[in-house]
Amino acid sequence: MVDRSTDISQPLESLNDNEQLKARSRHLRGHIAEGLAVSATGAVPGDDPLLMKFHGIYQQDDRDLRAERRQRFLEPLYQFMVRMRIPGGQLTTAQWQGIDALAHRYAERGIRITTRQTVQLHGVRKWHLRKLMQGIRDIGLDTIAACGDDSRGVVCGANPYQSDVHRRVAALARATSNRLIPKTGAYKEIWYEDKAPADANEEPVYGDLYLPRKFKVGFAIPPVNDIDVYGQDLGFSAVVRDGQLLGFNVCVGGGMGQLDTREDSYPRLAEDIGFIPADEAPAFAETVMCIQRDFGDRKDRHRSRFKYTLDRLGTPWFLAELEQRWGKPLAALEPLEYLSNGDRLGWHQGDDGLWHATLYIESGRVEGPLRSQLEAFFQHYGGEVRLTTNQNLQLINIGEYEREQVAWRLADLDLDWRLEPDTQAAHTLSCVALPTCGLAMAEAERYTPDLLAVIDQLKHQHGVAASPITLRITGCPNGCARPYLAEIALTGRAPGLYNLYLGGSFHGDRLAELYATNVDEAGFIELLDPLLERFANQRRDGEHFGDFLIRKRLLDDKPLTIRSA
Ligand code: SRM
Ligand code: SF4
């Protein structure tokens, strides 16, 4: 018999430490403001860094310098990562330039476009945080709920062909984000030094304990599954007929994160549950989020994501609860098809005649020469910008009359190759990992150029260089680059060692399988080599690598090697 009593109604002492911290935080205030004023350390003392995540800020330290600083009896080089909330990834050029200027002034390592279509600034010092947050406000952005136990940045497909539909879906993504953000006055009080008295009912939806864990919502526009809709806690797939947005097929319970140390943690694909009319999406998202608020696990934090709530209580239970709260059953799923999950790089014309150019940005990192080139480009570009969930940059809504000029300018600045990078780079994602991520066990972003060279070489050797294969690498099993949805994935275990996953689908609706553990570069080349050779010789016309591995049952016998470097 499944226990369906809610943790949220249990005595606070029986819940985990994070729940108790939230409860005593006075709606995310804690002692953050006091901690910012302590000049003896670059850190924010106590457990306030956990609360700062709700404000979009992570306390980190430069891991490259840890050992040296320890030897010199210095505290770690504390610094902060600041993640903005940019629903749907849409910015004006002035906002992009504003972010760049703030990064020059307060951050290190340039601008980082993330796998959830926003930007992160790394290496911010404590004494600059407030100035940075006010600078972000001044360009019309904020960072609230970019992290923490709340609804994170709502993502939206960046398919440039269907302009009208795309605009509507992006507007719904923004409306959903606005509806789901925390309402606490703490953010303005701490960062803007706003003295307005707090509202008596500060958090009408979240309550004192917020959510048991992060909750991710995304909107995809078929046939492009760029956002990986089946990796979202709540995914909306646009149903389009005759160029009109009818509504959304809804899926629930996706998630990537897992721990190598816990067998009861796992990546999970979201399940399709039914169809809703388009305008109902924001309210529907709130209803689903509130079910997770009330029934998510608040004792065992490692089992607190929505995917585990669904597996613990059962999808039939969830559907009954949803019907009761929503007031009606969901309509039947509409037929739709996904064909890819990468970005369509290069120039594309929307159905309203406007042009969009998607530029490849390796690992989403904008620094060094690329940063200077983009700075020069944006000085003479008045249009809009969109960030993609594949860490790329789109120049959007360019009129026919200005397209040629934009193209020349990109060519002059040596940015035009980014419209057509080689096939493999365009289908590769990597997470940040070292040196900033506190959870990284191996390199990801910094190893990506070498990894690409290795995989390109293997593909050339077997004559399959022109076949796109989704490739993803993360520095640990948490899955920030959604590795378990890729055809080939590496997740970090230790410096230079990775778990190798194979067999995800090209359009992101099948999980990859663990093929070998603890492999180094030589090890995964040795394992991939014969598989790519067979793919070259035995694939069907247009067949993707992941589908081939499954059809030929090549993952049935796994080496599951335990190697050491
Ligand atoms: Fe993530 C934690 C970076 C997308 C699953 N993620 C982290 C932290 C904050 C590390 C930490 O907790 O101290 C990383 C900061 C690294 C740094 O130095 O910047 C981090 N995650 C990222 C980003 C920047 C990766 C990137 O290279 O772009 C992405 C920022 C997204 C954003 O803009 O909001 C990012 N993270 C994801 C995704 C992909 C997605 O959402 O589409 C996932 C998998 C989907 C999911 O949530 O299941 C993801 N991140 C995690 C997890 C595992 C959560 C779990 O359920 O177990 C953690 C660890 C945690 O929360 O405890 C994590
Ligand atoms: Fe850090 Fe792991 Fe996420 Fe990479 S996957 S950014 S190493 S938490």
Atom 2 of ligand 2, residue of closest alpha carbon: 476
Same domain, 136 and 271: no
In a domain, 272, yes or no: yes
- Which ligand lies nearest to the CA atom of residue 445 in the structure? 1
Strands 108-113 and 365-366: antiparallel
Read off the amino acid at residue 60.
Q
In a domain, 43, yes or no: no
In this prediction, residues 452-459 reach a mean pLDDT of: 97
Per annotation, catalytic residue among 147, 156, 251, 431: 431
Atom 3 of ligand 2, residue of closest alpha carbon: 480
In this prediction, residues 181-205 reach a mean pLDDT of: 93
**Predicted confidence band at 564 (pLDDT cuts at 50, 70, 90)?**
very low
pLDDT score of 311: 98
Tell me, using a 6 A CB cutoff, whether residue 432 lines ligand 1: yes
Same domain, 402 and 490: no
pLDDT score of 561: 61
Spatial contact of 404 and 366, defined as CB atoms under 8 Å apart = no
Q: Is 476 a catalytic residue?
A: yes
pLDDT score of 560: 74
For every residue of 438-464, which 3-state class applies, written as one string? CCCCCCCHHHHHHHHHHHHHHHHHCCC
Residue 175 has pLDDT above 90, yes or no: yes
Number of residues written out for the chain: 565
In this prediction, residues 204-219 reach a mean pLDDT of: 98
Strands 384-387 and 393-398: antiparallel
Same domain, 356 and 220: no
Per annotation, catalytic residue among 251, 386, 476, 482: 476
Nearest partner of 489 among 430, 529, 559, 544, judged by Cα: 430
Q: What is the pLDDT of residues 358-403, one digit of tens each?
A: 999 999 999 999 999 999 999 999 899 999 999 999 999 999 999 9
Cα 186 from Cα 205, distance rounded (Å) = 16
Residue 562 has pLDDT above 80, yes or no: no
Same domain, 329 and 380: no
Spatial contact of 306 and 322, defined as CB atoms under 8 Å apart = no
Reduce the DSSP state of residue 507 to 3 states and report it: coil
Helix extents (H) in 223-280: none
Give the H/E segment covering residue 69.
helix 66-71
φ, ψ for residue 155, nearest 5 deg: -100, 160
Greater pLDDT, 497 or 382 = 497
In a domain, 106, yes or no: yes
* 218 bridge partner residues: 155, 235
Q: How far is CA 165 from CA 272, 350, 354, in A?
A: 21, 10, 14
In this prediction, residues 409-433 reach a mean pLDDT of: 94
Reduce the DSSP state of residue 266 to 3 states and report it: coil
In DSSP notation, 317-346 reads: HHHHHHHHHHSSPPBPPPP----B-S---E
Taking the centre of ligand 1 as the mean of its atom positions, its distance from the CA of residue 91, in whole angstroms, is 22
**Predicted confidence band at 7 (pLDDT cuts at 50, 70, 90)?**
confident
**Predicted confidence band at 1 (pLDDT cuts at 50, 70, 90)?**
low
pLDDT score of 447: 98
Per annotation, catalytic residue among 109, 216, 307, 386: 216
Residue 11 has pLDDT above 90, yes or no: yes
Domain stops at, among 320, 342, 364:
342
Q: Which atom of ligand 2 is nearest to the CA of 432?
A: 6
Q: Is 290 a catalytic residue?
A: no
In this prediction, residues 170-196 reach a mean pLDDT of: 96
Q: What is the pLDDT of residues 124-146, one digit of tens each?
A: 999 999 999 999 999 999 999 99
Strands 119-124 and 428-430: unpaired
**Predicted confidence band at 72 (pLDDT cuts at 50, 70, 90)?**
very high
Domain stops at, among 371, 394, 419:
419
Same domain, 323 and 199: yes
Alpha carbon of residue 378 to chain centroid: 25
Q: Which atom of ligand 2 is nearest to the CA of 441?
A: 7
**Predicted confidence band at 565 (pLDDT cuts at 50, 70, 90)?**
very low
Residue 191 has pLDDT above 60, yes or no: yes
Same domain, 227 and 322: yes
Reduce the DSSP state of residue 162 to 3 states and report it: coil
- Which ligand lies nearest to the CA atom of residue 444 in the structure? 2
How many domains is the chain partitioned into structurally?
3
Per annotation, catalytic residue among 112, 116, 152, 213: 152
Cα 120 from Cα 139, distance rounded (Å) = 15
- Output the CA angle 490-119-288, nearest 5 degrees: 80
Instruction: Supply 68's token pair.
Output: 């040296």
| In the chain, % of residues over pLDDT 90 | 92
In a domain, 137, yes or no: yes
Same domain, 86 and 112: yes
φ, ψ for residue 507, nearest 5 deg: -110, 15
Residue 180 has pLDDT above 80, yes or no: yes
**Residue among 474, 493, 497 whose CB has most ligand 2 atoms within 8 A, to mutate:** 474
Domain that holds residue 502: 425-551
**Predicted confidence band at 193 (pLDDT cuts at 50, 70, 90)?**
very high
In a domain, 39, yes or no: no
Q: Is 156 a catalytic residue?
A: no
In a domain, 279, yes or no: yes
In this prediction, residues 500-505 reach a mean pLDDT of: 98
- Output the CA angle 131-132-133, nearest 5 degrees: 95
Same domain, 460 and 528: yes
pLDDT score of 9: 87
Same domain, 317 and 228: yes
Cα 554 from Cα 518, distance rounded (Å) = 20
**Residue 457, domain CATH:** 3.30.413.10
| In the chain, % of residues over pLDDT 70 | 99
Reduce the DSSP state of residue 473 to 3 states and report it: strand
pLDDT score of 161: 74
In a domain, 37, yes or no: no
Per annotation, catalytic residue among 480, 482, 493, 510: 480
pLDDT score of 462: 98
Cα 161 from Cα 499, distance rounded (Å) = 37
Instruction: Supply 437's token pair.
Output: 């991520």
How high is the mean pLDDT of the chain?
A: 95
Same domain, 358 and 318: no
Tell me, using a 6 A CB cutoff, whether residue 147 lines ligand 2: no
**Residue 362, domain CATH:** 3.90.480.10
pLDDT score of 198: 83
Cα torsion for 148, 151, 153, 159, to the nearest 10°? 150
Taking the centre of ligand 2 as the mean of its atom positions, its distance from the CA of residue 363, in whole angstroms, is 13
pLDDT score of 26: 96
219's CB contacts (< 8 A; 6+ apart) are 88, 154, 155, 156, 157, 169, 172, 173, 176, 227, 229, 235, 236, 238, 248, 281
pLDDT score of 80: 98
In this prediction, residues 423-437 reach a mean pLDDT of: 95
Cα 440 from Cα 434, distance rounded (Å) = 6
Domain stops at, among 402, 419, 436:
419
What is the layout of strands, in order, in the sheet containing 155-156? 155-156, 217-220, 234-241, 244-252, 271-277
216's CB contacts (< 8 A; 6+ apart) are 116, 151, 152, 155, 232, 233, 234, 255
In DSSP notation, 409-443 reads: HHHHTT-GGGGS--HHHHTEEE---TTT-TT-SS-
Tell me, using a 6 A CB cutoff, whether residue 120 lines ligand 1: yes
For every residue of 452-511, which 3-state class applies, written as one string? HHHHHHHHHHCCCCCCCCCEEEECCCCCCCCHHHCCEEEEEEECCEEEEEECCCCCCCCC
Tell me, using a 6 A CB cutoff, whether residue 491 lines ligand 1: no
Instruction: Supply 514's token pair.
Output: 């663990």
Atom 34 of ligand 1, residue of closest alpha carbon: 116
Cα 130 from Cα 114, distance rounded (Å) = 23
Q: What is the pLDDT of residues 468-491, one digit of tens each?
A: 999 999 999 999 999 999 999 999
Reduce the DSSP state of residue 90 to 3 states and report it: strand
**Predicted confidence band at 452 (pLDDT cuts at 50, 70, 90)?**
very high
Residue 563 has pLDDT above 60, yes or no: no
Same domain, 399 and 544: no
Q: What is the pLDDT of residues 252-269, one digit of tens each?
A: 999 999 998 899 999 999
Q: What is the pLDDT of residues 328-343, one digit of tens each?
A: 999 999 999 999 999 9
Q: Which atom of ligand 1 is nearest to the CA of 146?
A: 34
In this prediction, residues 530-541 reach a mean pLDDT of: 98
End-to-end Cα distance, the chain: 47
In a domain, 203, yes or no: yes
Same domain, 168 and 317: yes
pLDDT score of 91: 96
